[in-house]
């Protein structure tokens, strides 16, 4: 193993927890440990802290506190939105895309199969741009559909115009859910001006802890519960709340919003520098999806396609790991799969090329980028 300090460029998979978030969280693990459903003082203290966190999050997103429901993370929130909307509004048609996160794609496929629902996957071009004309046509032909399309793609960084999608859904009386896991905290989201019915967020994507997230459910488009239990979370989601995690989630989102513009400029600077340096070092590289387009993609994601190489074929991630560099070949949730990235497969990427997702945070530096680029150049240009 390389003796140099390890480098982390897989922030789309998870981010490190901010020290200020950890400090806010620790008292609720050590001392303020009451169950928020208990009526004694320990429980009341926990309930007060939990509701304060809910109010903080709702204020940042410009909604009422009752529209924020805490979950175990983005996957549960996506499942809750899709299953709940279909059950509540007797929806028979699901519209999504072949490049969605599996937390959306797999639940849509399962529901279509088990409940005999119609499932439509939007066409996308070789850069991952979705066919908005097709969406409009599908909605016109079948109103009262469910549309689930993500805000920012976790693998190729493409940003969808969710305001345009929301307007189309509103025009055709259809339910719109968006997985905003990759954009929450990184981009301003004002739900007073966005006619969306539900969206999902997860703390560990913006320097909070794993295992806690939330779903926004518009008060005028409530859905049936997904997890039944003791009536927690206004009976939308049974189960004792993860109070420490929720406190940390609220703090992490608060910090993200406080410094959003500065963080975006800083991280975009790192991504831009990485892109320019890797092109200089290995001119044959290309970029998957719109990740190389600095205006149309997440400033946190750059998906790089490397030229074929006998020495690196199927081994590039391994070689980088040996050099203390953590990156991803796609979604970490699918890292054990043998079929490769479903997103890159949908784009028709060249199977002979090595594809690596580099994803950035405010804790990355240009010096780290230089080391990664040099390592890659040594691997490709011995």
Give the residue numbers marked as catalytic. 333
3-state secondary structure of 31: coil
Instruction: Looking at 207-259, list the stretches that DSSP marks H as alpha helix, in order from N- to C-terminal side.
Output: 243-258
Q: How far is CA 133 from CA 97, 140, 170, 182, in A?
A: 14, 11, 16, 25
Q: What are phi and psi of 198, to 5 degrees?
A: -160, 155
| Residues in CB range of 163: below 8 A, 6 or more apart | 194
Residue length of the chain: 382
State both tokens at 312: 């690196």
Instruction: Compute the distance between CA of residue 66 and CA of residue 161 in angstroms, rounded to an integer.
Output: 26
| Residues in CB range of 258: below 8 A, 6 or more apart | none
Q: Are 225 and 3 in contact (CB under 8 A)?
A: no
């Amino acid at each position: 193993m390389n003796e140099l300090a390890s480098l982390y460029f897989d922030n789309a998979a998870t981010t490190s927890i901010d020290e200020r978030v950890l400090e806010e969280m620790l008292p609720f693990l050590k001392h303020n440990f009451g169950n928020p459903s208990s009526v004694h003082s320990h429980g009341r203290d926990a309930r007060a802290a939990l509701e304060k966190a809910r109010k903080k999050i709702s204020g940042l997103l410009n909604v009422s506190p009752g529209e924020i429901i805490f979950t175990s993370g983005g996957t549960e929130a996506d499942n809750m939105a899709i299953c709940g909307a279909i059950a509540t509004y007797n929806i028979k048609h699901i519209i999504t895309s072949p490049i969605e996160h599996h937390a959306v794609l797999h639940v849509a496929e399962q529901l279509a199969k088990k409940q005999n629902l119609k499932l439509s996957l939007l066409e996308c071009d070789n850069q991952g741009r979705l066919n908005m004309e097709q969406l409009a046509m599908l909605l016109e032909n079948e109103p009262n559909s469910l549309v689930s399309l993500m805000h920012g793609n976790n693998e190729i960084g493409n940003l969808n115009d969710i305001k345009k999608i929301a307007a189309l859904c509103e025009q055709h009386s259809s339910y719109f859910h968006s997985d905003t896991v990759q954009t929450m905290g990184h981009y301003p989201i004002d739900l007073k001006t966005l006619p969306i019915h539900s969206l999902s967020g997860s703390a560990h994507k913006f320097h909070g802890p794993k295992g806690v997230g939330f779903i926004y459910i518009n008060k005028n488009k409530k859905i049936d519960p997904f997890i039944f239990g003791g009536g927690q979370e206004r009976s939308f989601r049974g189960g004792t709340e993860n109070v420490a995690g929720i406190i940390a989630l609220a703090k992490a989102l608060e910090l993200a919003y406080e410094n959003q513009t500065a963080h975006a400029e800083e991280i975009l600077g790192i991504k831009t520098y990485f892109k320019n340096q890797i092109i200089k070092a290995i001119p044959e590289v290309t970029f998957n999806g719109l990740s190389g387009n600095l205006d149309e993609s997440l400033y946190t994601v750059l998906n790089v396609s490397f030229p074929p190489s006998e020495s690196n074929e199927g081994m590039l991630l391994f070689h980088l790991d040996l050099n203390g560099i953590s990156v991803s070949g796609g979604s970490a949730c699918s890292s054990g799969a043998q079929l490769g990235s479903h997103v890159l497969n949908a784009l028709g990427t060249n199977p002979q090329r090595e594809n690596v997702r580099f994803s950035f945070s405010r804790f990355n530096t240009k010096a780290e980028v230089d080391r990664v680029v040099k390592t890659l150049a040594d691997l490709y240009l011995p």
